[in-house]
Amino acid sequence: MRFLIMLEQTVAGFAVQVPDLAIVTHGQNIEAAKQAACQAIRINLEAYQEAGQEVPERQAIERHLKNPEFRDLLFTCVEVPKPKKKIAA
């Protein structure tokens, strides 16, 4: 599954947002921030699955690009494997 992330340089490294899942995390550099985002996305997707809920629908990337609040952020995408279906015990 592909997710848009937005990066912003801070004094401590890089803040990263996953707007479609309302996730915020950070890393000391861009690669660490991307890895933190991937881990947070996986945890979030597993939580939706365990709760039996649908993952929120992703918005078009263009919608985020056109948002003036995000104008100074760096945009990229990360790939996260779809959670495996749990087998009932």
Residue 48's CATH number: 3.30.160.250
> How many domains does the chain contain in total?
1
Domain presence at residue 61: yes
> Where in the sequence is the domain holding 74, given as residue range(s)?
2-79
Q: Are 41 and 34 in contact (CB under 8 A)?
A: no
pLDDT for the residue numbered 82:
85
Going from the first residue of the chain to its last (89 residues), give the mean pLDDT of each consecutive group of 10, the final group possibly shorter: 95 96 96 97 94 90 91 94 69
pLDDT for the residue numbered 25:
97
pLDDT for the residue numbered 86:
63
Domain presence at residue 18: yes
Domain presence at residue 88: no
Distances (CA, A) of 50 to 13, 44, 45, 88: 32, 10, 9, 11
Beta strands in the chain (DSSP E): 2-10, 13-18, 23-27, 74-79
Q: Are 63 and 43 in contact (CB under 8 A)?
A: no
Domain presence at residue 85: no
